[in-house]
A and B are shown apart, each in its own frame.
Chain A
């Protein structure tokens, strides 16, 4: 899988896709959606779709794309290659969401939580397939959050398609399992070949699976936390695991709109009773508006 676009800039998001098989523009197609890397505290989260004509579902099943969770990494890579070979009837597309995008969405002033990000990414990929001219008639999605609400939302967005949202959809529908394989192959490769934009020395890439309870991952996080900059951008700063380490190991930072402001505001009331010098006139608004005051000491 060619992730060179991601390697160029791994702080945003990038879309990869296979060519659209001609048959998928003619015949009614089934499309599966799944993601990989939802839980880990580091590395990208990858959303993938995989689609093929209704009539070729048995061929897809013959590829043994059984429940991707039971497959090893090598088996997944091998299966992905086989799907690539069968590109005359199987198409795929994926969205790689970088850890930085995930963190900044979740920590932004206007919160954009992981579920919304996931739902929007999945809808975006289905729309992408339609825009590419794939004749999608059925969609199967592995659920994120409440299956009913998610299904309702997708059905509303795509009224001409039969949408099925189910938990463990990758074990039920081969086209979802195939999507899951694409997502996992992409994520494994992205994590393995991660280009650190931080020129971090003595960087060992031995961060384990990336799951918060993986001792290797926890050790790696503790080893690479930097008191002022936190972590390399491989890490999802919005993850509790990461925040817990930052709270312990990193310096505090205050922002203009940080909570501390309110607390400071309350102190201001008391300061009314401390006279600020008999006739100390405040500086003219020209200076106040620009945060300028006289220097009484260097």
Chain B
């Protein structure tokens, strides 16, 4: 759940660009 709104519903390369961390 992101603290911002991406104004689109679309495919996105999440695995490649987003590394969740605590």
A and B touch in the complex (CB under 8 A): yes
A residues lining the B interface (CB < 8 Å): 197-201, 226-229, 251-256
B22 interface residue (CB < 8 Å to A)? no
**Would you call the interface of chain A mostly helix, strand, loop, or mixed?**
loop
Considering the complex, which residues of chain B in the window 4-22 have a beta carbon less than 8 Å from any beta carbon of chain A? 4-8, 10, 12-13, 15-19
Contact B4 A251 (CB under 8 A): no
> How far is A200 from B15 in the complex, measured between Cα atoms in Å?
10
Contact A200 B10 (CB under 8 A): no
7 new A-B contacts at CB < 8 Å, known A199-B16, A228-B8: A227-B8, A228-B12, A228-B13, A229-B13, A251-B8, A251-B10, A252-B7
Contact A251 B13 (CB under 8 A): no
Contact A253 B4 (CB under 8 A): yes
Interface size on B, residues (CB 8 A): 14
Chosen A-B contacts, 7 in total, with CB atoms closer than 8 Å, are A197-B19, A199-B16, A229-B13, A251-B7, A252-B8, A253-B4, A255-B4
> How far is A283 from B10 in the complex, measured between Cα atoms in Å?
33
Contact A226 B17 (CB under 8 A): yes
B residues lining the A interface (CB < 8 Å): 3-8, 10, 12-13, 15-19
Contact A254 B4 (CB under 8 A): yes
Considering only CB atoms, which chain B residue lies closest to A256 in the complex? B3
> How far is A255 from B10 in the complex, measured between Cα atoms in Å?
19
> How far is A52 from B6 in the complex, measured between Cα atoms in Å?
53
Contact A198 B17 (CB under 8 A): yes
> How far is A189 from B11 in the complex, measured between Cα atoms in Å?
35
Contact A254 B7 (CB under 8 A): yes
Considering only CB atoms, which chain B residue lies closest to A230 in the complex? B17
Q: Note all chain B residues with C-beta closer than 8 A to A201.
A: 16
Q: Note all chain A residues with C-beta closer than 8 A to B8.
A: 227-228, 251-252
Q: Note all chain B residues with C-beta closer than 8 A to A229.
A: 12-13, 17-18
Which 9 A-B pairs have CB atoms at the shortest separation, nearest pair first? A229-B17, A228-B12, A251-B8, A252-B7, A199-B16, A255-B4, A254-B5, A198-B17, A253-B4
Q: Note all chain B residues with C-beta closer than 8 A to A254.
A: 4-5, 7
> How far is A226 from B15 in the complex, measured between Cα atoms in Å?
13
Q: Note all chain A residues with C-beta closer than 8 A to B3.
A: 255-256
Q: How far is the CB of B13 from chain A (nearest CB, A)?
A: 6
> How far is A228 from B13 in the complex, measured between Cα atoms in Å?
8
Q: Note all chain B residues with C-beta closer than 8 A to A255.
A: 3-4
Q: How far is the CB of B19 from chain A (nearest CB, A)?
A: 8
